[in-house]
Structure 1
Amino acid sequence: MKCLIVDYMHESIEQDLREIGVQPDYQPTITREEILSVISEYEGLIVRSKVKVDEELVAGADKLLFIGRAGAGIDNLDEKVLAEKNIAIFNAPEGNRNAVGEQCLGMLLSLMNNVVKADKEVRAFEWDREGNRGEELEGKTVAIIGYGFMGQSFAKKLKGLGVNILAYDKYKSDYGDEQVKQATMEEVYSEADVLSLHIPLTEETRSMVDYDYINQFAKKIYFINSSRGEVVPLDGVCQHMQEGKIKAAALDVLENEKLKTLTELQRKSFEYLSKSDKTILTPHIAGWSFESYERINKVLVSKIKDFLNEIQ
């Protein structure tokens, strides 16, 4: 059984696959056109984000049994087409959830204590203590939207810090405990001091957190997005920052991460955010740790192994 790997992976992936009887073909620089010409030869395919796995890509993939997505989101996979062709999908949110949780906590604390702003000022020989007076996290209410692997990891990091945690997940039930309250959106809008997104990109969630969504919050909020950029139109974020509804924002993802292809509106929003001293912008690195890089391999290979045992 052969598996084509079309993105860069931790070096352990080849040995891990061999140990379960799968022959890896590691081609991280392969182009889409080249994939189309050879995909018929493989039973497995492992991708990150480079390739859109759509009807065209798998049309001639008559041997293909599974696709492994090295990460959490599967928005670059056409689930309907793959289901019709009976091709299994495996992703690895268990592999990078800890890194996401740690990054979100770090960004939130940095926002509330003006760490990035203060660092820049000191480097420029400006010593402004009063202008960088921070807010304490203890006693605040943090709302987590989406309570899967990533949302739960962030909640785990928050426990012990004296915060109230509200979690909302439209597709889960009975997930509250003594430290995390299963909340309605009405409770989130009414009580939250912090909003953190942990939802996948789907047709339902695309552009969901827009100006009107944020406008429903009763308090001024800190805003964190480490999920998918397309969930949040940034013009709404900018407008709420100007109006004071959003105190500060930490964005690990953007609605268009190909910065050379920004539309006029996207460029205007990006320029505002990049110049603001109330933002933290990082290049989609929540979950991108050295540890998660290897752990994702272990999770994927374990799922592939279980799948192969089932069909044999």
Structure 2
Amino acid sequence: MPKVLISDKMSPLAAQVFRERGVEVDEITGKTPDELKAIIGEYDGLAIRSSTKVTPDILAHATNLKVIGRAGIGVDNVDIPAASAAGVVVMNTPFGNSITTAEHAIALMFALARQLPEADASTQAGKWEKNRFMGVELTGKTLGLIGAGNIGSIVADRAQGLKMKVIAFDPFLSPERALEIGVEKVELDQLLPRADFITLHTPLTDQTRNILSAENLAKTKKGVRIINCARGGLIDEAALKQLLDSGHVAGAALDVFVTEPAKEHPLFGTPNFVATPHLGASTNEAQVNVALQVAEQMADYLVSGGVTNALNMPSLSAEEAPRLKPYMALAEKLGSLVGQLAHGVIPRISIHAEGAAAELNQKPIVSAVLAGYLRVHSDTVNMVNAPYLARERGIEVREVRTEREGDYHTLIRISVKTEAGERSVAGTLFGNQAPRLVELFGIKVEADLAGHMLYVVNDDAPGFIGRIGTALGEAGVNIGTFHLGRRAAGGEAVLLLSVDEPVTGDLIAKVRALPGVRTAMALRF
């Protein structure tokens, strides 16, 4: 009988579901990392919320672990690459608390508009300061959404019911989807000076970290009110404090912070600042929903091998999995490469399978491409919900099969429509197992896509390799692999190299300044 540990507090219905499905379950919460390491080896599954941190050290002791289930959306507390390396499936419940989080954002908007927390404290202190608390109406105001995905679209719907005008910044929001949910699609620089209220509904990624930086906060309309129920780290908290003190920002409400639990914070006590302790998903309904969902998903996997809402594995039958696994790894890497290199909305993505790849079930391969592409910008994407999210964003997905073999026994090509025209990348399997990039935007280049990488487009000229090698050496960056390709002698060339540590912004700036460099950026696989 499979055995699961529930290590964080969640609805008792979760344990009931496990037992009904034939899974033994222990509910042991509040353990320290050392205490968890001492017992984790007994379990096939680990059900968590946000308190348990699943680190490589924990995973090293989890010798029997097969699946981790996160009751909720965010998996910041799970080292997914380490879990994948250990062969552990990581699942979440991406939509179980969307309504609850959206409603909390609306509640905080009301709290700011009418200064409810301060008015409550004053009244209960016997002051009756009626003239002190002059609020503002929401009707007719402009709400700026940063992120218009599942939760953001629910907020938009509720705000429209309050007769607010909603504008939205989201690189993946298509004009068709914007029309469908009734928002005006704008760029961030247009949203900041127009919005009376700004609410954030985007995951924390390299692209969104400090999206409301000191510079961007300074661009906001005087008197703006800001709400964040998404992730800590999206707002420069020190800059927000300064603008609240100066009066430029009329109010701010944060449910999430850079460091949690936030028991002390410079913003605490600031006038017109409202704080809640990460309550976005904290309703009875949401807690029951995510607990039931994670228990059902984990039990299905442990008992029958069914996979649902996995972040590092597609939905597969037991018969298909061994053959499809390397193809899906290739497809996801190619999708991730396109996602990292592309800019703005991509209205169409085509997946072309040639040779042996064309004989396989294409659905997991297409899902893997979309998951790799979309996961660059969202931490809730998996191979189950990626097709849905692509449709939601108005991305047209085309599938093409060519059974005849070309230069390779098997090949997957991804083509995307961009403002600059059609662009494509292609990859194959070496030894029917190892994913390998073989073409990048029409340039033949063979490369492994793994770890931290540096991508450079440059003029093909003598001495360039020496210059970039020197630049990395002076920065103390060790090169792992080095891959080159070019269109023609003396023309456009491309370089992909892997390095042993993350590529910093300073290093990118240094590489871009080298003679002959057209563009340079960091990649992560």
Residue 193 in 1 paired to residue 196 in 2? yes
Q: Which residue of 2 aligns with 1:280?
A: 274
Which amino acid in the other structure matches residue 155 of structure 2?
F
Q: Hey, what's the Cα distance between the residues in 1 that align with 2:170 and 2:45?
A: 32
Deviation at 1:288, TM superposition (A): 0.6
Correspondence 1:27-46 to 2 at 5 A = 27-46=28-47
Does the Cα contact within 8 Å between 1:73 and 1:201 map onto a contact in 2? no
Partner deviation per Cα, 1:125-157 (whole Å, 9 max, x = no partner): 333333322211111111122233332332232
Partner deviation per Cα, 1:81-105 (whole Å, 9 max, x = no partner): 2233332222223222222112111
Q: Which residue of 1 aligns with 2:389?
A: none
Does the Cα contact within 8 Å between 2:71 and 2:293 map onto a contact in 1? no
Which amino acid in the other structure matches residue 85 of structure 2?
E
Deviation at 1:196, TM superposition (A): 0.8
Q: Hey, what's the Cα distance between the residues in 2 that align with 1:236 and 1:12?
A: 43
Give the number of aligned pairs: 303
Distance verdict in 2 for CA 1:181–1:303, change over 3 Å: farther
Relative to the length of structure 2, the TM-score reads 0.54
Q: Which residue of 2 aligns with 1:93?
A: 94
Distance verdict in 2 for CA 1:136–1:67, change over 3 Å: same
Correspondence 1:222-261 to 2 at 5 A = 222-259=225-262
Deviation at 1:217, TM superposition (A): 2.1
Aligned mate of 1:291, from 270, 282, 285: 285
Deviation at 1:3, TM superposition (A): 1.5
Deviation at 1:297, TM superposition (A): 1.1
SS in 1 for 2:98: helix
Residue 152 in 1 paired to residue 166 in 2? no
Q: Hey, what's the Cα distance between the residues in 1 that align with 2:210 and 2:22?
A: 43
Does the Cα contact within 8 Å between 1:141 and 1:166 map onto a contact in 2? yes
SS in 1 for 2:97: helix
Partner deviation per Cα, 1:231-278 (whole Å, 9 max, x = no partner): 323211111112322110111122223445x5xxxx4x2xxx332331
SS in 1 for 2:96: helix
Distance verdict in 2 for CA 1:181–1:299, change over 3 Å: farther
Does the Cα contact within 8 Å between 2:199 and 2:227 map onto a contact in 1? yes
Q: Hey, what's the Cα distance between the residues in 2 that align with 1:196 and 1:259?
A: 20
Q: Which residue of 2 aligns with 1:300?
A: 294
Which amino acid in the other structure matches residue 231 of structure 1?
L
Q: Hey, what's the Cα distance between the residues in 1 that align with 2:49 and 2:197?
A: 30
SS in 1 for 2:123: helix
Does the Cα contact within 8 Å between 1:192 and 1:219 map onto a contact in 2? no
Structure 1 gap ranges (5+)? none
Distance verdict in 2 for CA 1:311–1:62, change over 3 Å: farther
Does the Cα contact within 8 Å between 2:17 and 2:296 map onto a contact in 1? no
Which amino acid in the other structure matches residue 166 of structure 2?
I
Q: Which residue of 2 aligns with 1:182?
A: 185
Relative to the length of structure 1, the TM-score reads 0.87
Q: Which residue of 1 aligns with 2:465?
A: none
Which amino acid in the other structure matches residue 108 of structure 1?
M
Does the Cα contact within 8 Å between 2:196 and 2:221 map onto a contact in 1? no
Distance verdict in 2 for CA 1:30–1:121, change over 3 Å: closer
SS in 1 for 2:90: strand
Please state which structure has a larger fraction of its residues in strand: 2
Partner deviation per Cα, 1:167-216 (whole Å, 9 max, x = no partner): 32335545322522333213312321111112223344344432122122
Residue 108 in 1 paired to residue 102 in 2? no
Does the Cα contact within 8 Å between 2:233 and 2:257 map onto a contact in 1? yes
Distance verdict in 2 for CA 1:84–1:213, change over 3 Å: farther
Residue 209 in 1 paired to residue 209 in 2? no
Partner deviation per Cα, 1:279-304 (whole Å, 9 max, x = no partner): 11111112111221111112223433
Instruction: Provide the aligned C-alpha RMSD in A.
Output: 2.3
Does the Cα contact within 8 Å between 1:75 and 1:201 map onto a contact in 2? no
Q: Which residue of 2 aligns with 1:24?
A: 25
Residue 168 in 1 paired to residue 169 in 2? yes
Does the Cα contact within 8 Å between 1:2 and 1:22 map onto a contact in 2? yes
Q: Hey, what's the Cα distance between the residues in 2 that align with 1:169 and 1:43?
A: 39
Larger radius of gyration: 2
Q: Which residue of 2 aligns with 1:13?
A: 14
- Percent sequence identity over matched residues? 30
Distance verdict in 2 for CA 1:209–1:178, change over 3 Å: closer
Q: Hey, what's the Cα distance between the residues in 2 that align with 1:170 and 1:19?
A: 44
Does the Cα contact within 8 Å between 2:4 and 2:26 map onto a contact in 1? yes
SS in 2 for 1:82: helix
Q: Hey, what's the Cα distance between the residues in 2 that align with 1:187 and 1:305?
A: 47
Q: Which residue of 2 aligns with 1:139?
A: 140
Does the Cα contact within 8 Å between 1:233 and 1:255 map onto a contact in 2? no
Q: Hey, what's the Cα distance between the residues in 2 that align with 1:302 and 1:116?
A: 39
SS in 2 for 1:159: helix
Distance verdict in 2 for CA 1:182–1:3, change over 3 Å: farther
Q: Hey, what's the Cα distance between the residues in 1 that align with 2:317 and 2:181?
A: 41
Distance verdict in 2 for CA 1:166–1:87, change over 3 Å: farther
Does the Cα contact within 8 Å between 1:175 and 1:182 map onto a contact in 2? no
SS in 1 for 2:215: helix
Please state which structure has a larger fraction of its residues in helix: 1
Deviation at 1:225, TM superposition (A): 1.1
